[in-house]
Amino acid sequence: MKGKVIQVRGSEGEMSAEEQVRTEIQSFLRALDSYPDRFAREPEITFEEHRNSLVQTTVRPRRRG
């Protein structure tokens, strides 16, 4: 399984590598915790699809304005 590196920018620039790893682990654990409920509603969904849907809803590009 190939992992994704998500670049998240804060108000002071990019997150450190350690912060990115912590964020990725927290995201995985949230997905792991919530997957059984989602699977009960949608048995055809894979864990990877579930996790990706959570990542897409929590990581949003910053708008320039």
What are the boundaries of each domain within the chain?
27-60
Whether the CB-CB separation of 54 and 31 falls below 8 Å is answered with yes
- pLDDT above 50 (res 6): yes
Half-sphere exposure of 33 (CA within 13 A, CB side): 7
Given the structure tokens 């590196």, which residue do they identify? 5
Q: What is the rounded distance in angstroms from the CA atom of residue 40 to the CA atom of residue 63?
A: 36
* Digit-coded pLDDT (tens) for 13-46: 678 999 999 999 999 999 999 999 999 999 999 9
Q: With helix as H, strand as E and coil as C, how does 4-55 read? A: CCCCCEECCEECCHHHHHHHHHHHHHHHHHHHHHHHHHCCCCCHHHHHHHHH
Whole-model pTM: value is: 0.61
